[in-house]
Amino acid sequence: MIPYGRQEITQQDIDAVVDVLKSDFLTQGPKVPEFEAKVAEHVGARFGIAVNSATSALHIACAALGLGEGDYLWTSPVTFVASANCGLYCGARIDFVDIDPRTYNLCPDALEKKLIQARSEGRLPKIVVTVHLCGQSCDMERIKALSDEYGFRIVEDASHAIGGKYQGEFVGNGRYSDITVFSFHPVKIVTTAEGGLAVTNNPDLASKMELLRSHGVTRDPALMTHEPDGPWYYQQVGLGFNYRMTELQAALGVSQMERLDDFVSRRHKLARRYDELLADLPVVTPWQHPDSYSGLHLYVIRLKLGELGVSHRQAFESLRDQGVGVNLHYIPVHTQPYYESMGFSADDFPEAMQYYREAISIPMFHGLTFEQQDEVVEALKRALTL
């Protein structure tokens, strides 16, 4: 089976992890700060806070921004459930904004319309989570302008987008948001096995997220309510979690980050090749906004079902039967039973549902060979003409 995504691990990565195993610190040592600095520097942000997953990073981002009961968090329905669940962890309520049919990202026009309505009803969101689907940035300049007008904060879920750019600058530099979150799950562009990282330019948010990551406990006298009792002293100043990343993971991340540019350019080479090979097939290939240089975590095609004699499901099953590990990113979150029970119904977000009826993620990862890519295309041709 050719998977849709796969990690790329070299001897250099393995050596980096083994070195940590032989060192004094398996956790809370020097590698985590090194990894944080490396990611923050690469993307052009002041602070980086590494945690054990992007899900944890989204949670502490929302908590640091003060999200709580009675607040709303809005995001795109076409995302992994974690982009919305982070709001629920904080006791907030969730709502969604339909997608742009070209980029599949949260649509700024739909956002503006919903904000106007929400203002009149007195239920404006506190946070909007913008998800850079497949690695292509959302229209952040527009969304930031709306945030200035309507007073919400912005968390970028850039789980797909490390190494990608928006308006010529790396995603994560914080020009148009408060906090940006990356994921290092093995299918993503850079991996630490499990892991996530939040970047911000705001020292107050950085310090809050650091506390939240580790029990709400500090050893920094400046953050304490009184002088330390002695050199042993630590103080709990809030309620936090244990969301720490290990030294093993951070060492793998540092090693991986050195190849980030190579990772992203390889994905672009593969995407250009897919674009050409699929040009004459009854599918829509990914449209790229001129402001965006995608991280290209995923390559999603949409079937032109009106021109096909097969259903979406038949094409999908045929690809799997032929050994192509296709996937579907994502089942619109508002249709999940857990969310449906909050009162959402499928047709609340018609563009998201249309996307869901047509989308297939085909293999896209660093080690995918041109020969395997040709196999995928041949399998797709057969799948579309069953």
Task: Just list the catalytic residues.
Answer: 188
CA dist 198 and 209 (Å) reads 8
* Residue 357, H or E segment: helix 350-358
- Closest to ligand PLP by CB, 83 vs 318, is 83
Size of the site for ligand PLP (CB under 6 A): 14
Give the nearest distance from C-beta 16 to ligand PLP in angstroms.
Answer: 20
Is residue 244 involved in binding ligand PLP (CB under 6 A)? no
Residues 6 or more apart whose CB falls under 8 angstroms from that of 35 comprise 48, 50, 192, 197, 245, 250, 251, 253, 254, 257
Give the nearest distance from C-beta 309 to ligand PLP in angstroms.
Answer: 33
Is residue 197 involved in binding ligand PLP (CB under 6 A)? no
Closest listed residue to residue 171, CA positions, set 149, 199, 193: 199
- Identify whether the C-beta of residue 322 lies closer than 8 Å to the C-beta of residue 379: yes
Give the nearest distance from C-beta 18 to ligand PLP in angstroms.
Answer: 24
Is residue 157 involved in binding ligand PLP (CB under 6 A)? yes
User: How big is the CA angle at 220 (ends 214 and 223), to the nearest 5 degrees?
Assistant: 90
- Closest to ligand PLP by CB, 100 vs 318, is 100
Q: Find where tokens 């990356």 sit.
A: 182
Which residues from 71-110 bind ligand PLP, rule CB under 6 A? 79-80, 82-83
Which residues from 23-62 bind ligand PLP, rule CB under 6 A? 53-55
- Closest to ligand PLP by CB, 82 vs 326, is 82
- What six digits make up the tokens of 39? 């990611």
Q: Are strands 72-75 and 127-131 parallel, antiparallel or unpaired?
A: parallel
- Identify whether the C-beta of residue 140 lies closer than 8 Å to the C-beta of residue 265: no
- Closest to ligand PLP by CB, 55 vs 256, is 55
Give the nearest distance from C-beta 75 to ligand PLP in angstroms.
Answer: 9
Is residue 173 involved in binding ligand PLP (CB under 6 A)? no
- Closest to ligand PLP by CB, 111 vs 308, is 111
Closest listed residue to residue 50, CA positions, set 214, 263, 288: 214
- Identify whether the C-beta of residue 225 lies closer than 8 Å to the C-beta of residue 237: yes
Mapped onto helix, strand or coil, the DSSP state of residue 201 is coil
Q: Which of 7, 75, 159, 327 binds ligand PLP (CB under 6 A)?
A: 159
Q: Which of 38, 42, 153, 160 binds ligand PLP (CB under 6 A)?
A: 160
Mapped onto helix, strand or coil, the DSSP state of residue 200 is strand
25: phi then psi, degrees, rounded to nearest 5: -120, 120
Give the nearest distance from C-beta 181 to ligand PLP in angstroms.
Answer: 8
CA dist 245 and 259 (Å) reads 21
Is residue 183 involved in binding ligand PLP (CB under 6 A)? yes
Closest listed residue to residue 386, CA positions, set 284, 317, 309, 277: 309
- Closest to ligand PLP by CB, 153 vs 281, is 153
Q: Find where tokens 């829509």 sit.
A: 284
Give the nearest distance from C-beta 194 to ligand PLP in angstroms.
Answer: 6
Residues lying near ligand PLP in the complex (CB under 6 A)? 53-55, 79-80, 82-83, 131, 157, 159-160, 183, 185, 196
